[in-house]
Structure 1
Amino acid sequence: METAEIRRRFIAHFERNGHAVVPSASLLLDDPNLLFVNAGMVPFKPYFLGQETPQWSTATSVQKCVRTLDIEEVGKTTRHGTFFQMCGNFSFGDYFKEGAIRFAWELVTGSVEDGGYGFDPEKIWVTVLPSDTEAKELWHTVAGLPYERIQERGLKDNYWNMGVPGPGGPCSEIYIDRGPQYGPDGGPNADEDRFLEIWNLVFMQEELSAVRAKDDFDVAGPLPAKNIDTGMGLERVAYLLQGKENMYEIDEVFPVIERASELTGKRYGADEGDDVRFRVVADHIRSALMLINDGVTPGNEARGYVLRRLLRRAIRSMRLLGYDGKALPELLPVSKERMKASYPELEANFERITRVAYAEEDAFRKTLAAGTQIFDQAATETKDAGQTRLSGAKAFALHDTYGFPIDLTLEMASEAGLSVDEEGFRALMAEQRERAKADAKSKKGQHADTGVYRGILDEHGPTTWLAYETLETESKALALLSGGAPAASLGAGEIGELVLDRTPFYAESGGQAADAGIIEFDGGRLEVLDVQRPVRGLVVHQVRVVDGEFAPGSALHARVDPEWRIGARQAHSGTHVVHAALREVLGPTALQAGSYNRPGYLRLDFGWTTGLSEAQVRDIEQVSNQALRADLPVSWQYMTLPEARDWGAIALFGETYDESKVRVVEIGGPWSRELCGGTHVDHSSQIGTVVVTGESSVGSGNRRIEALTGVEGFAYLARERDVVGQLTGLLKTQPDELVGRIGDLLDRLKAAEKEIEKVRLAQLLAAGGELAAGAQQVGPVKVVAHRVDGAGGGDVRTLALDVRGRLPQGEPGVVVILGVEDGKVAVVAATNDEARARGVSANDLVRVVGGLLGGKGGGKDDVAQGGGTEVAKVDEALALVVAEVGRVAAG
């Protein structure tokens, strides 16, 4: 029975019994105590708390839920999943215990033909609170359960409350006996793997005045009206009715695992470590799908951080399974197809969902590419030093430099057998936050303490700043600093900070990088490395002595590199042009949220919730270059901030401005009108060109466009032209036919790979007859124990089953194939009916052989699969197979 049908039957059952059908609330229900809806009753809390009056006396729903407290357990157990669906029925002062028990019993045990689930009544157990004799008797009289299958449990298990003063009451849980293969007999009190809880019936009958713990609270008295709140786990019922081992194998989840298996080439069920990763992928893909559908976007806080973590865990799990391609475009559509029967809105919203998800994967792939290599190096260094703990400094470097979130570092460290100094990491994060505050006014300064700069300003007054007027000035030194303190001189190669009375150098601000250039003095030169304004009015140059020994006093000639300034002006004006083009293409809400430009390069961040299409990016580039072709005039003027706002000038987010005087830069009049203190070209054509090279996500609700201008832009286009020329020469085709030709070649390559795979498989199976004919007689059993080099788990399984089918019928037969590939051994054992009748189990053989090979495995008595890493022991393992079969058959 498919999950959607189980869901439909639940709703139909209670609708037939007079319940109002309430659609699932959004996962983002407005509740200050919750990130997400985490239980089926959450949307009904205002009614149970008496804050609102329900419009119905009875209701039913199937509520979407997300829980992430146990995210690390996902895939390791049968019951931990982040997204799940809770089926519930609710009574607000209408029916009570008898009705709740009767409705549940009728649905659970009702025949499939009559709309029920068809569970065997003899397999059902329930638990009740010891003091709730009423519920115990009702289970006996209404459902006919014998008392021995009604077990008692204490307050921690069978009393429900919200954790705060309000309604509470005993509850009763329904369990299904899965059979002796899952654990010992004795009901839920004996084993909760064998006896699986599927439904919890809560009988709200008391008002609690204080709640100190789940089993420690004060009861103020009875509720004015008794209520019912139940929750049936849809996924749990699904895997029971579908005969699956866990929730990851049901029809709404397992197709993602199947697709992941196809992409990675690894078989689900062959290796427990890989199986956990497969289950993480399937669970997290579905959860991300549902979260994005309800409006969550990846980010660094709260809901956005949870979504980002789910997506990145899924992507990384695919990489650990051996798939390096883009995973989400392959997996999200599969999940959508399975979930849309219950949630048809997924189809309508899927374009938006994929824009959000795919952009996050692109960003994370860049992070992984840089950070994984650094992590591996750090882990190796830690182990080589005989330590088991990754330092907080290394974890911080991964976060600060490569964008690795700490939870990813923790996971990777755990997989590498290491712990992480989290306290040290947190301390460094706190220090960074403090530094960021202190450096706000002295960005890139050698010292956060601005006192030394204020002293210079007080003594000499503000720097005469001439960056708009000239590229060269005759200047004199007012102060020289080294290590944050006054210095008498700097020797060759030394770096210090120099304050001039007048300067032509542009100090970094407004997203524009500082000028580069030279300061000449009698007998030597200084290279200008950086220029900053640590305090208002003072320009400080970071310099390195190229020639001679520098000491203040001699006349100085400061000269900006003219090529640098030309490139900087092109890039900064290009940023304004791209911003205007962006708003023309996307609309006026696409506003710049930050920028950076240096000669030949610009990047522009803007608020936008979805990734841009290729067509939109092309349009932005085209509009930009049309503005360059139009040779628009570039001008600037000063005015008050209110005047600038009235004039329609755009002020950038996060910037502070002087109310009395701001500089407004225009390109083409009102087409581009922004507050800006940067350097610019005189006409837009002087930008040369704008070549958009990238568009990506830089956090929740923010995008980034990167582009090249001037000579750098033309050089980029020339390189692309050269690549196209080489490809057209190699393929002997025209440029406009290149894409189609490459597509044809890729299709032919894929077809050839499929044919090669068919031939390879045929060759593998061709050996089946020979292996069967050469079976070794071990007592009454024919045994094939064989090694195949270059074969993985899937091939080994195929061959083992083929050989088993070729063994003589009516005779006991056992086949064990060991495939050796990439330093790993895959083991598959297969037995026929006659061999199993003599006690030979494929599961037992795999466990024995897997243990010898340094691995493990398992399965059923007819077919089992496992593996190991001890390749040198393969021959010993084959001999062990023969000995083990002989021992069992003889017994």
Structure 2
Amino acid sequence: MKELTSSQVRQMYLDFFKSKGHDVMKSAPLVPNDDPTLLWINSGVATMKKYFDGTVVPKNHRITSSQKSIRTNDIENVGHTARHHTLFEMLGNFSVGDYFKEEAISWAWELLTSKEWYALDPEKLYITVYPKDKDAKGIWEKVGVDPSHIYEVEDNFWDIGEGPSGPDSEIFYDRGQEMNNLPEDDPESYPGGENERYLEIWNIVFSEFNHKPDGTYEPLPHKNIDTGMGLERVVSVFQHAKTNFETDLFLPIMDETAKFSEGKHYGDDAELDVSFKVIADHARAVTFAIGDGALPSNEGRGYVIRRLIRRAVMHGQKLGIDGAFMYKLVPVVGEIMKSAYPEVLEQAEFIQKVIRMEEDRFNDTLKDGIVLLDNLISETKEKDEKQLPGKPVFKLYDTYGFPLELTKEYADEQGLEVDEDGFNEEMEAQKNRARAARSNAKSMGVQNGLLTDIKTESEYVGYSKLQADGVLKDIIFNNELVDTLAAGNEAQVIFDKTPFYAEMGGQVADEGFVKSLDGEVVAQVKDVQHAPNGQNMHTIHALKELSKDKTYRLEVNVEFHNKVKKNHTATHLLDQALRDVLGSHTHQAGSLVEPTYLRFDFTNLGSVTKEDLKKIENIVNEKIWANLEVNTVVTDKESAEKMGAIALFGDKYGDTVRVVKIGDYSLEFCGGNHVDNTNELGLFKIISESGVGAGVRRIEAVTSKEAFDYLEGRNNLLEQSAQNLKIAQIKEVPHKIDQLQNQIKELEQQKEALEAKFASQQAEDVFKNVEEVAGKSVIAAQVNVSGMQQLRQLADQWKAKELSDILVLATATDGKVNLIAAVNETSVKEGFKAGDLIKTIAPLVGGGGGGRPDLAQAGGKNPEGMQSAIKAAFEWVASQK
């Protein structure tokens, strides 16, 4: 067997399938693009769903990839097992209605065993098949697998409920009995059993059935192949590693971590090895996740990143690491993965900044968490209980990042246990909330054979003209191809030529009409989308009968189209201006280009300041007024990248791409419509900036007439304000407002002085009414003041003049009650506490409160209860003796 690095294993896999006619698909970002069913890309096939369900027909039906993926459902197992990871790479080869079992099996065997490729010993390879899949078993024997190495396993059937399904075949590598954790004669010591000897390295799914809602299965119109080989697993085979962690994918990270610890090293202590593994695993995951546009937050994928960083920090403390260290591992991860993912090192500075900020924030939070844990332990002991309750323990885990194991250690030191059942109930409740918050859309739709089989040639001519004659080639009505469409019906239609833009890249579809050649309107075009094979498919409402193979005149709504293309060009200018002002780390996270406004989502750590927004807006307007020419170049993707063109976040591009160049300022991949010169935009105005998710901001803006109308509306408001303020010119409005604010401030001060004077006058009367209760002098009364501030002023006067031992005052303003209680120093020493007094009387006014032994306050919503509260104050004093 060859000694291969992880980079060699990955590249050899891709090269092999490229030699078999597969297109190599670049790994998609971990953040799913337009897939609400996924929090993360969690497998290679997750990026292929649009091909397998027939939404899109790929240019090449043979595809291979090494897809980075994240799964966090088993996060607690990471570090404790040999193969659990949060981030992993899935090598895969996929056939979308092309080859099937014969090729998939023979190629797998060739790659694994031939001397030119992996050169694994065939005697060490074992296969499992679905018992009813006699075809697969026969093919494995045909390619040379020893029949005694083939096992029939009932579980070998891939099924997610409704949708595509089929038998699968797994490939195991025999690592030898010396690697096993079980005796050789143990019932589980076989390929597919729960053991460490036989390692599953590859799974081939033969997707050939549609699982129907009634539980039955029917053959798919197009059979597919979906395979998955875990890179980390197979690398452990080539590097003779007992676990995935003892490979070149993890060891350099653990070696670097050791430098930060107090002389600790991986392999010295089994318990500490867990911490090394967790840190290495989580460092990879958060590095890639942040690089792909996700940022730490309290929800969704941002919460996953935050949780991973916090778990790693906690394990760092077990290794004796103080302070932030995770961010220092980013360049190490980048170096390991640079052959396949050079972007990690390119973004390293930004990724480090994000992780460092999160580490520092957590170290502050950790201090608060330790205080809460100490309080929880004290409260449990005071109640003479032996178990920390599950709910607050889960809060420590969820909010403060305390792993359950750490809380158990703290508790054990104090002779306590932890209610793990209660903790697990809270954990399950949180998972249910997360599942409920996710879209209930199907994870993979059922193939639509009708649409995928439509191969009509259709040309889009809308870049150069908005009117064209086209032959109606296909009419889809009620999911059937028909030759005619009656008036009043809605259908999808495809022409051999169309000027109508199909919605894509954030730009909305064109609107317009279908006419006869003599100019009569026969249909309204309501929407245009891409059919699976790429044609522009028009949704129309028929006003007259339409017939297949007849020529029609297609006319785009010119005003609508021109407004859209102005806003689309503006998004390109805005995209570049954001990079200029905020930094190169920011990139597009979505957009919408409508005729009346544009919406642009982008990644950024925080909100954009007003000053930066003004800079961004000024830059865009300067480029508009600079009369920059807008040109397009159609070229291959590699040439476009060499030109410096920016690929939009999450978009996929074919071999031929369209590049939009705005002067020497902006250069982006784009298939949308644009103006010829930036001066056509006229004016650009940002109308809002807000947050829409973790680390994602949104700018909404307008151009041209809509920008003028927006500014005109603001100007009208100023003119109306000037009239209301009775001034001649709107430029005087700010000065007049300043004058009025100063007047208001002066009046407020006068009002406060008068209220204070009135309160003092009241105090003279109130402070005279001193009552003796159980040997204590008490003043308790209702006063008419403006609120708590004046009550505190009265309490200060009482204290300064030493008018009694205990004071209780109550007032009500706008239906809200304020209470204050004060106790002199001598009485406090005797056990009279203002906090206890206020807690006793506050419920009588419908509220609650607390404070120090010498001073406490409360609020309430029941003014009618003030006299009862005052009476209760006297009773409380009496009860203390």
Q: Give the TM-score, by structure 1 length.
A: 0.49
Q: Tell me: higher relative CO, structure 1 or 2? Use CA pairs within 8 A at least 6 residues apart.
A: 2
Q: Give the TM-score, by structure 2 length.
A: 0.50
